[in-house]
Amino acid sequence: MAETSFDLVVLGGGPGGYVAAIRAAQLGLKTALVEREHLGGICLNWGCIPTKALLRSAEIHHLLHHLDAYGFAVGEIRYDAQKLVARSRAIAQRLSNGVAYLLRKNRVTVFDGHGRLAGRGRVAVTRNGDPVAELAAAHVILATGARARTLPGLEPDGARIWTYKEAMVPAAIPRSLLVVGAGAIGIEFASFYRDMGAQVTVVEALERVLPSEDEEISQLARKSFEKQGITIHTGASVQALVRRGDGLAARIAIGEKAFEIAVERVILAIGIVGNVEGIGLEGTGVAVERAHVVVDEWLRTGEPGVYAIGDLVGPPWLAHKASHEGVVCVEHIAGVNDVRPLDTSNIPACTYCRPQIASLGLTEQAARAAGHTVKIGRFPYSANGKALALGESEGMIKTVFDGTTGALLGAHMIGAEVTELIQGYAIAKTLETTERELIETIFPHPTLSEAMHESVLDAYGRAIHF
């Protein structure tokens, strides 16, 4: 087993790890990447990409049942759940193969196996318990990601109680479903299964769905979901799951009241925990808090030469945040002069349910709590020509400005394609744009983006079309 020397070794080939490895190679660092399962990580193989493929199928299914509104008539509408899943898996596989190509193109050496720290500047790689290689490197980036959190008594069994993995490859669409957790992952699955015809119940421990979003957007989302037929219980918990026949009986508590519902399947979507076990952190200066590795602004841990990025470290736990952290980390290692620490307030968040939800920066409540005198702008999709033409009149754009400086503090959206629109505000905020530049920006007509402009105008009492 020969030792192999590198400038940098990356543990984990997800959107943080593989991007870090490629950027390091571009900067002239001799780089190795260790991945034990699938290149592209959870996001590409079991998260971001395959779920969007499924949600696209659900969107089409929904539209097919509303074709009369567009002047069409069709006969019986049928679907094949296995074909839906197969399409989703094929897209994930294609992109995983693409990551492998990009790593080869950039001359990153890939080791198929499990990596762990094995002393200062050393990484041991094994596969199925057998040694593969021992690597030496001045720098090691931990990008081992995270896994679904579980609760005692609600442990997934892969058959009736699912994590996101089982939820993405159903043999058939269940007739009834309980989703535990109303964050982005839970709501996306609730939206998918409801649009595919399942009766869906959502239970959330906090007082509102999508609790990370602006409260006003959260309220609009709940109203829309309930209109679609999704049953939502907030301030609630699942006390027990009991197997009955081919399904489950779920005991739900809200305050002092409790009741039982029968469902075929349950999806657990109650957060994540970092993959900190089995990677050699024992005896190092790497600190772990609440199952996540502690890092500084340059992604350095407390152990010299060891860094951590992505879902393994702090929130927000998003693929694009992980990728950006990977770039910041390796550019700092390589001594790039103009590298800047990540500003988490400039990271957009997207939820791909129906209607879509996207946000950036401070909510109205957080801005007020931080001491800002705010100016708030709103513009409804129902007053936007393109939204009406699309048949997507449900939605709103909300903007939050500092009333003194005009700085854009936050933007919050619900409606068709807002996950694409939010990047306009992300660019504006990164450039430290004020209301004046946004007001003077010319938005094309007719587009959904005009609602973004009108929301800015509304914050300053200048809205034209509302």
pLDDT value of residue 22:
98
Q: What percent of the chain has pLDDT over 90?
A: 93
Instruction: Examine the pLDDT at 122 and tell me if it is beyond 70.
Output: yes
Q: What percent of the chain has pLDDT over 70?
A: 99
**What is the Cα–Cα distance from 347 to 367, expressed in whole angstroms?**
16
pLDDT in tens, 378-429: 999 999 999 999 999 999 999 999 999 999 999 999 999 999 999 999 999 9
Question: What is the per-residue pLDDT across 148-174, written as a single tens digit (0 to 9) for each?
Answer: 888 888 899 999 999 999 999 999 999
Q: Domain spanning 3-147+273-344: which CATH class is it, in words?
A: alpha beta
Q: What is the pLDDT of residues 419-444, one digit of tens each?
A: 999 999 999 999 999 999 999 999 99
Average pLDDT in the chain: 96
Report pLDDT for 3: 62
| C-alpha dihedral (267, 270, 275, 276), degrees to nearest 10 | -150
Helix/strand/coil for 353: coil
Looking at residue 83, its pLDDT comes to: 96
CA 163/CA 269 separation, integer angstroms: 7
| 157 alpha carbon, distance to own chain's centre | 24
**Sequence ranges of the chain with CATH classification 3.50.50.60:** 3-147+273-344, 150-270
Q: How big is the chain, counted in residues?
A: 466
**CA 241 to CA 253: how far, in whole Å?**
12
Question: What CATH number labels 355-459?
Answer: 3.30.390.30
Once rounded to an integer, what is the mean pLDDT over residues 299-317?
96
Q: Is the pLDDT of residue 60 over 60?
A: yes
Please identify which residue in the block is written with the tokens 């080939």: 13
- Specify the domain boundaries for CATH 3.30.390.30 within the chain: 355-459
What is each CA distance from 29 to 4, 34, 323, in whole angstroms?
14, 16, 18
pLDDT at 312 over 80: yes
Q: Give the separation between CA 135 and CA 133, rounded to whole angstroms.
A: 6
Using one digit for the tens of pLDDT, what is the confidence trace for 201-238?
Answer: 999 999 999 999 999 999 999 999 999 999 999 999 99
Give the pLDDT band (50/70/90) at residue 55: very high
Active site residue 445: yes
Distances (CA, A) of 289 to 4, 286, 329: 32, 10, 21
Task: Give me the residue label for tokens 């800002």.
Answer: 372
The first and second tokens of residue 118, run together, are 């094995």
Our measurement of the distance from residue 391's CA atom to the centroid of its chain's CA atoms, rounded to an integer in Å, reads: 27
φ, ψ dihedrals at 161, nearest 5°: -110, 115
Architecture of domain 150-270 in CATH?
3-Layer(bba) Sandwich (3.50)
Whether residue 2 is predicted with pLDDT greater than 80 in this model: the reply is no
What is the structure's pLDDT at 152? Answer: 86
**pLDDT confidence bin for 46, thresholds 50/70/90:** confident
Q: What is the pLDDT of residue 193?
A: 98
Q: Which of 42, 43, 22 lies closest to 33 in space, CA to CA?
A: 22
Marked catalytic residue, from 66, 139, 233, 445: 445
Predicted confidence band of residue 44 (pLDDT cuts 50, 70, 90): confident
CA 234 from centre of chain: 22
Residue 1 has pLDDT above 60, yes or no: no
Whether 159 and 33 have beta carbons less than 8 Å apart is answered as: no
